[in-house]
Every structure is written in C-alpha cells, then in structure tokens.
C-alpha cells in the first residue's frame, strides 16, 4: 500500500466512530475536547515549568482577588490537599506568597509575587496560542459563543 493510500485509510478510519450516538453526548464531547486541549496546553506551559493546574493557581493568585486556599480548592474543583501541594511548589519557586487571612487567621491567602506576575505574563501568551490551536476550526465569533455558553452552563 502506498503511503498516500495508507494516510487516506487512516483518515477514514480515525473518525469512523464519530457516527456513534455518543458523539451527541455533551459529557463525552467535553471530555474529549478537554483531553486533547490539556495535552496542547501542558505542552505549551512546559516551557515555563508550569502545568494547567499550577498555571490556574498562578492566574488566580495574580488576580488581585486574594483567594484563600479553600476558595482555590472550591473554584478549581480540587481537594484542599492538592492546593497545598500546588501552592507549596509555587511558593518554593517564589512565584506566589502565602499570607494569613485578614478577618480569619485560619485561612491563608495566596498572592503572586512580582516574579510570578512576570512569568505569568509570558505563560499567558503561550496559553493563548495553545487555545487557538485547539480551537483552530472555530472562527472568532464561534469561540466567543462557545465561551459564553460554557460560562452560562457553569454560573447561569
């Protein structure tokens, strides 16, 4: 078989299963796009020794909202103990700092350092490129629509 014919057959069989009913299932579509996107995102962020998780924490630490670890756990749908590990690592790299909560001294707020902000600025560029790559088949209007629908599904 020639290389070209092989490629054609692969292309033909690769998406053969799209016809199945599960391709109408939002949960499945979400999982699949998320899986593919994670690979692209993590590859883009690897240059800065970040992963999706640590990148998310860094963004929130840099938001000016001074989130507590508990809030990070709730918002990122992670167990509090995972936040500890993520913040530990970012703190060790001097990208974020922990501070005791103002009203509640049990809580610790996580804020980005200047170094963290700088790194984030660079990483954000790479993340935007990754997003474009993942959503390459959508035009700008469709991307906005998709974001709006996802946000509405999450927060009404």
Interaction residues for DNA, span 33-52 (CB under 7 A): 51
- Per-residue x/- marks for a second copy, 60-89, CB under 8 A? x--x-x-x---xx-xxxx------------
Strand segments, DSSP code E, in 17-59 are none
Q: What share of the chain is helix, strand, coil (3-state, %, to 5)?
A: 70, 5, 25
E strand residue ranges, 44-146: 96-100, 108-112
Query: Minimum CB separation from a second copy for residue 33, in Å?
Result: 6
Question: In whole angstroms, what is the distance from residue 84 CA to residue 40 CA?
Answer: 26
Other beta carbons within 10 Å of 90: 24
Interacting residue with DNA among 40, 107, 134, 135 (CB under 7 A): 107
The H-or-E segment that residue 78 falls in is: none
Stretch in the footprint of a second copy (CB under 8 A) among 83-91, 92-100, 110-118, 140-148? 140-148
Pick the binder of a second copy from 7, 25, 79, 104 (CB under 8 A).
Answer: 25
Under the binding rule (CB under 7 A), the answer on residue 93 touching DNA is no
| Site for a second copy contains 116 (CB under 8 A) | no
* 65 counts as binding DNA under rule CB under 7 A: no
Shortest distance, position 127 Cβ to a second copy, whole Å:
7
Q: Which structure tokens are listed for 110?
A: 């996580």
> Of 112, 126, 133, which Cα lies nearest the Cα of 46?
126
Structure token pair of residue 26 = 């939002």
Residues that bind a second copy (CB under 8 A): 13-38, 41, 52, 56, 59-60, 63, 65, 67, 71-72, 74-77, 127, 130-131, 134-135, 137-138, 142-143, 145-147, 149-156
């Amino acid at each position: 078989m020639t290389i070209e014919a092989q490629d054609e057959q692969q292309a033909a069989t690769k998406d053969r299963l799209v016809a199945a009913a599960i391709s109408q299932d939002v949960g499945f579509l979400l999982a699949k796009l998320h899986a593919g996107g994670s690979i692209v995102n993590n590859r883009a962020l690897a240059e800065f020794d970040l992963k999706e998780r640590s990148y998310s924490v860094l963004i929130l630490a840099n938001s000016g909202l001074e989130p507590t670890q508990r809030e990070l756990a709730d918002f990122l749908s992670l167990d509090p103990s995972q936040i500890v590990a993520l913040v530990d690592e970012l703190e060790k790299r001097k990208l974020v700092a922990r501070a005791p909560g103002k009203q509640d001294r049990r809580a610790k707020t996580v804020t980005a350092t200047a170094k963290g902000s700088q790194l984030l600025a660079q990483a954000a560029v790479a993340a935007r490129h990754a997003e474009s790559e993942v959503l390459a088949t959508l035009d700008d209007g469709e991307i906005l629509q998709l974001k709006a629908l996802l946000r509405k599904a999450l927060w009404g």
